[in-house]
C-alpha cells in the first residue's frame, strides 16, 4: 500500500458506541485512525515524543506533535506539509490541526492532498515552483 485509502477507515467500536453526526462535532480524542491510515508511509523522525512520516511518492509529510517542539505551532497537534518533490527541505505550504480536530477530518484532508490524479488548473494559476 503506497497511499492513504480513499475511504476513511472506521475504528472498531463496541455495542455501546454512539454515532456523532455531523463528524466535525466528534472531536479529536482518538488518533488511532490517522496512524492506521499512515501505516505505509516512511517514518523520517520519531524522536522527542513526536512522529513525522512522509508519503513515499507525493512530497507530503504529516507530523504528530504532542510535545510541540520548538519551531512548531504551539496549538498544533498535527502538521501537514507539502513539498514540490519528495525529499525537498523547503516546504511549498503547511497547515495544522489542533487536538480537537476529528481524525476523520484529518484523514480526509490527507486523502485530498495526496490524490494521484491531481487537480486541473491553467498554468498561470499555479505557484511558480510547481510549473514544470
What range does the domain containing 55 cover?
42-117
Identify whether 124 is part of a domain. no
In a domain, 123, yes or no: no
In a domain, 36, yes or no: no
- Domain membership of residue 132 (yes or no) is no
Q: How many domains does the chain have?
A: 1
pTM to 2 decimal places = 0.70
In a domain, 95, yes or no: yes
63, 52 Cβ separation under 8 angstroms = yes
> Residue 37 domain-assigned?
no
**Distance set, CA 99 to CA 9, 84, 113, 125 (Å):** 19, 28, 20, 33
Classify residue 31: in a domain, yes or no: no
Q: Averaged in consecutive runs of 10 residues, what is the pLDDT profile of the chain (132 residues)?
A: 45 59 65 89 85 87 82 82 82 90 89 79 64 44
Indicate the burial class of 53 (C-beta count within 10 angstroms; 0-12, 13-18, 19 or more): buried
Does 48 map to a domain?
yes
Amino acid at each position: 500500500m503506497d497511499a492513504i485509502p480513499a475511504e476513511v477507515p472506521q475504528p472498531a467500536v463496541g455495542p455501546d458506541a454512539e454515532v456523532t453526526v455531523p463528524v466535525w462535532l466528534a472531536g479529536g480524542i482518538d488518533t488511532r485512525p490517522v496512524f492506521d491510515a499512515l501505516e505505509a508511509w516512511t517514518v523520517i523522525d520519531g524522536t522527542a515524543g513526536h512522529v513525522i512520516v512522509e508519503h513515499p511518492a507525493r512530497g507530503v509529510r504529516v507530523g504528530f506533535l504532542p510535545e510541540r517542539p520548538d519551531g512548531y505551532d504551539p496549538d498544533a497537534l498535527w502538521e501537514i506539509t507539502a513539498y514540490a518533490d519528495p525529499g525537498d527541505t523547503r516546504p511549498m505550504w503547511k497547515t495544522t490541526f489542533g487536538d480537537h480536530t476529528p481524525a476523520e477530518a484529518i484523514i480526509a484532508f490527507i486523502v485530498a492532498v495526496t490524490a494521484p490524479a491531481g487537480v486541473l488548473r491553467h498554468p498561470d494559476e499555479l505557484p511558480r515552483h510547481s510549473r514544470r
